[in-house]
DNA sequence: TATGAATGAGTGTTCATTCAT
DNA sequence: AATGAATGAACACTCATTCAT
């Protein structure tokens, strides 16, 4: 069974990555030692280095691992939906659900990952772009269908949508998760779709 | 001349804080040593500790200093405006202008300040709240005047506005400041005010 | 076939030892990992420990292996010679030839082996003594024959001869092997035999 | 007193260098930790790095420091001597005296310094060259005066002289310093000057 | 006030060695 | 016999902070 060795390796890798997410979100990336991640994963310090190049690679890999899961879930959930507006709504809901479901993952994505180190930001860019592309695809679909305005660049819309959701999650986290997060999807969508201007008010 | 001594102290403090903003934004908070801030400020390492409790206090104080200036500018600029919509527009414009005007300050506020350390986040909360209050005050004014919808909580609107602007600045910074930033105020306002839904499309 | 197993073991051992000489001379003993020796030998890391007690034993065994070969060659070459002076000359020539012939072996013997660790020096002593005895035997033979002075202790002579050759090889190696080494045997012998004092000069 | 600060720095540097010589010669360079050098010097670990770039720089600097002292002593002692042969004798005597006088320094120079690391060897080259130049100057003087043979290259002579003395000291050290070292100067000089060939023996 | 030399706790990473398979 | 994944002790170096001057 040649597969067995590969499987064991992948399993071990996952085990370490998930320990890293937990440890980083609890201690904070910079204040978390590699030894703490190892302990959390139940392996020796040196073992980490058999799977990852170093602490930074651990952070970046953990991000990719987590984002991979989220994007997969999104693709699976959005595929059956026809209406771009529905897709948009579901996308926001999933984003909020994921964060609400796993607070440590939320803290990891929302706080620990915002490292100003250039190399980290660079490494993180790609999976973030993948998420951005998902959002923009839905928006473009909406433009094509005629349900979304065509006179605002898609990128601007995407930034507004993502920025709004992101800020919402941040606030929720910093207030120590007061109540459920998912219900906020409704108002957010309403706002993004219809704007904040009162109907009948002047331009 | 009791004032003179106080003035000298305040002056020294400002000198160090502004050196800190430059040094932190260049090197990154965690990779920047206190010695580097001292050198940038033209003082000895030990002198820093006559004005600040430590490195973290330096970061937090620098933020307060910078935010103080920005809020002051906003208050001064918004005061003469009557229309809440105009105020909103000017607020976004000032936010973008400040970032565009001083790239080091932008990097500081946008990247270096996003430290996941709990104590830092806590210390930073207050000035951020002050900014949030400014935004919400304008929104509430608009609700009162009838130009802003009343059926969406003000906090939700504030998060959308701030999140959108914040995400816009982040993207701009990470793309190494491609072109001017201020013109993005128009589309952002349009979007936030009117939403992305095509007119005449179903709810 | 009991021999076959023993032979295979000896063969494996030799294979590892020669890989060790190459790896150590290239990377330097301290900077060379056991894993690198294993890779060079084409065996797994753990296999090394089936043949040697550890890294240090590997170094010492490699030295013994190499010195064994050299001493064997010397014995074979010197045996047929009658004149002690001729033997001395051949001995120096062989020393220089061996170094010239195999640069990796030279680097190993001349540089990597000079480890200051007490245990290594102790372990290395014995084969070095064997070499010293070869030299002293020839010198004593010369004294007996009357071609070598008897008023200088043999040990002193041996140290002068070995020290001179050793220093010559060291210089040559550190200058990255500029030209052939063997021709230096002539002047060395001349000097050791006749001294540097000008003939007819006062004592 | 502006000198005072510089003096204190030089003093501190010397204090650390001499601690390094002691610690390295006792533990062996690779088995000696920077912390041990610091303790030996009576300073904190970090202090070492205010004076030296790192452990390797410490080794190299210690060598330069020690060699500087020895060369100074040699120059002072050889200057008044007129006869090149006397100079040669004195040179060998000083070499042996220095080693005998300070066994830790001897172990340092003779064992610890023979590190195969390329960067160390390179850094050590220069002071060694200075010593070589001293020896060759005396030999050339002897050639000019006519007391030293002219038909053997000076470099060959220098290598023989240095190699012989070096090997003598090494043997003495490895035998744990059996008796005085300086008396060995006589036989060594005799051998180098007059050779080992019995008078009247055929070429 | 200001200095900057000195401190020493803290940590990412390596690698010789072991042992279950 | 052979493997190579796992171990964990060991260590050079950094840097926030202090304090004698």
3-state secondary structure A113-166: CCCCCHHHHHHHHHHHHHHHHHHHHHHHHHHHHCCECCCCCHHHHHHHHHHHHH
Alpha-carbon span C125 to C72, nearest angstrom: 18
Q: For C170 and F10, how far is CA from C1' in angstroms?
A: 33
| A201 pLDDT higher than 60 | no
* Gap between the Cα atoms of A139 and C115, Å rounded: 69
Q: How far apart are CA D179 and CA B57, in angstroms?
A: 65
Question: Which residues of chain B fall below pLDDT 50?
Answer: 203
Query: What residues are paired with B148 via a beta bridge?
Result: A197
Q: Which residue places its CA closest to the C1' of nucleotide F19?
A: B46
Residue A111 DSSP class: I
Contact D190 C152 (CB under 8 A): yes
Provide, in whole angstroms, the distance separating residue B181's CA from nucleotide F15's C1'. 38
* Portion of chain A with pLDDT greater than 70, in percent: 97
pLDDT reading at A1 higher than 80 = no
User: How far in angstroms lies nucleotide F18's C1' from the CA of residue D33?
Assistant: 26
- Can you tell me which residue has its alpha carbon closest to the C1' of nucleotide E17? C54
CB-based contact (8 Å) between B11 and chain A?
Answer: no
The confidence band for D23, taking pLDDT boundaries of 50, 70 and 90, is: very high
Element (H or E) spanning C7, and its range? helix C2-27
Q: Which of D29, D89, D115, D163 to mutate against chain C (most C CBs within 10 Å)?
A: D163
Local structure of residue A79 (DSSP, 8 states): T
Distance, CA of B173 to CA of B179 (rounded, Å): 11
Minimum-distance residue to E15 (CA–C1') = C33
* Contact predicate C168/D163, CB 8 Å: yes
Spacing of D35 CA from F11 C1' in Å: 9
Cβ contacts of A165 within 8 Å, gap of 6 or more: A92, A95, A96, A188, B163
Question: What's the pLDDT score for residue C202?
Answer: 53
DSSP letters for C24-73: HHHH-TTT--HHHHHHHHTS-HHHHHHH-SSHHHHHHHHHHHHHHHHHHH
Look at residue C3 in the predicted model and tell me its pLDDT: 66
Predicted confidence at residue C180, as pLDDT, reads: 97
Q: What is the nearest CA distance from C147 to chain D, expressed in angstroms?
A: 5
* A169 interfaces chain B, CB cutoff of 8 Å: no
User: A4: distance to nearest CA of chain B, Å?
Assistant: 39
Distance in Å, residue A52 CA to nucleotide E14 C1': 14
CA of D144 vs chain C CAs: smallest distance (Å): 11
Is any atom of strand E within 7 angstroms of residue D12's beta carbon? yes
Does pLDDT of D200 surpass 80?
Answer: no
| Cα–Cα distance for residue pair A68/A65, rounded to 1 Å | 5
The Cα–Cα gap between C71 and C77 comes to 10
pLDDT the model gives residue C2: 56
Give D2 CA → F21 C1' in Å.
Answer: 14
Q: What is the pLDDT of residues D50-109, one digit of tens each?
A: 999 999 999 999 999 999 999 999 999 999 999 999 999 999 999 999 999 999 999 999
D163 touches chain C (CB under 8 A): yes
C198 min Cα distance to partner chain D (Å):
4
Residue A200 binned pLDDT confidence (cut-offs 50, 70, 90): low
Q: How confident is the model at residue A203 (pLDDT cuts 50, 70, 90)?
A: very low
Q: Which of residues 33-72 of B touch strand E (CB under 7 A)?
A: 43-47, 49-50
**3-class DSSP assignment, residue A197:** strand
Q: What is the pLDDT of residue D114?
A: 84
Q: What is the pTM of this model?
A: 0.90
Q: What is the pLDDT of residue D203?
A: 47
Q: Which residues from chain A sit within 8 angstroms of residue B116, using beta carbons?
A: 28-30, 111-112, 114
CA B112 to chain A, closest CA, distance in angstroms equals: 6
Residue B44 to residue A79: CA distance in whole angstroms: 61
Distance CA B113, CA D19 (A): 45
Give the per-residue pLDDT at C105: 95
Residue with minimal CA–C1' distance to F11 is D33
Which of C29, C107, C132, C159 to probe by mutation at the D interface, max D CB count within 10 Å?
A: C159
Ramachandran region, residue C33 (left: φ > 0; alpha: ψ -120 to 50; beta: rest): beta
pLDDT tens per residue across span D121-132: 999 999 999 999
* Gap from C47 CA to F7 C1', Å: 17
| C30, C146, C149: residue with CB nearest D196 | C149
How open is the CA angle A97-B164-A167, to the nearest 5 degrees? 40
| C112 band by pLDDT with thresholds 50, 70 and 90 | confident
Look at residue C1 and tell me whether its pLDDT is greater than 60: no
**Considering only residues 75 to 114 of chain D, which have any Cβ-Cβ distance to chain C shorter than 8 Å?**
85, 111-112, 114
Inter-chain contact A121–B30, Cβ cutoff 8 Å? no
Task: Give the nucleotide at minimum CA-to-C1' distance from C55.
Answer: E16
Residues of chain A with Cβ-Cβ distance to B164 below 8 Å are 159-160, 163-164
Distances in whole angstroms, Cα of residue D119 to Cα of each of B85, B97, C109, C169 = 69, 53, 19, 19
**Domains of chain C as residue ranges with CATH:** 53-194 (1.10.357.10)
B35: Cβ under 7 Å from strand F?
Answer: yes
Q: Which residue has the higher pLDDT, A90 or A115?
A: A90
Conformational region of residue A165, where left means phi above 0, alpha means psi within -120 to 50, and beta covers everything else? alpha
Query: Which residues, 6+ apart, have CB-to-CB distance to A70 below 8 Å?
Result: A94, A95, A98, A131
**A window 13-52: Cβ near strand E (< 7 A):** 31-35, 45-46, 48-49
Query: Can you say whether residue B56 is alpha, beta or left, with left for phi > 0 and alpha for psi between -120 and 50 degrees?
Result: alpha
CB atoms D198 and C156 under 8 Å: no
- Predicted confidence (pLDDT) at residue A61 exceeds the cutoff of 80: yes
d(Cα B194, Cα B191) in Å, to the nearest integer?
5
pLDDT for the residue A118? 85
pLDDT digits (tens, 9 = 90+) for A173-197: 989 999 999 999 999 999 999 999 9
- Three-state DSSP state, B197: strand
């Amino acid at each position: 069974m040649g597969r067995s060795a590969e499987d064991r390796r992948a399993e071990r890798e996952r085990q370490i990555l998930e320990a890293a997410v937990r440890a980083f979100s609890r201690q904070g990336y910079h204040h978390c030692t590699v030894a703490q991640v190892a302990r959390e994963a139940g392996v020796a310090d040196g073992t980490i280095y058999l799977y990852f190049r170093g602490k930074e690679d651990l952070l970046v890999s953990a991000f990719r691992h987590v984002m991979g899961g989220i994007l997969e879930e999104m693709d699976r959930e959005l595929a059956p939906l026809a209406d771009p507006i529905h897709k948009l709504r579901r996308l926001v809901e999933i984003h909020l659900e994921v964060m609400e479901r796993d607070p440590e993952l939320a803290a990891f994505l929302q706080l620990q990952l915002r490292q100003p180190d250039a190399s980290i930001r660079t490494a993180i860019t790609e999976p973030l772009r993948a998420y951005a592309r998902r959002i923009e695809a839905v928006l473009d679909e909406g433009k094509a269908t005629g349900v979304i305005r065509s006179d605002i660049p898609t990128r601007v819309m995407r930034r507004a949508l993502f920025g709004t959701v992101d800020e919402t999650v941040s606030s929720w986290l910093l207030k120590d998760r007061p109540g459920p997060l998912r219900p906020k999807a409704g108002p957010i969508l309403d706002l993004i779709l219809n704007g904040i201007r009162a109907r009948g008010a002047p331009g």
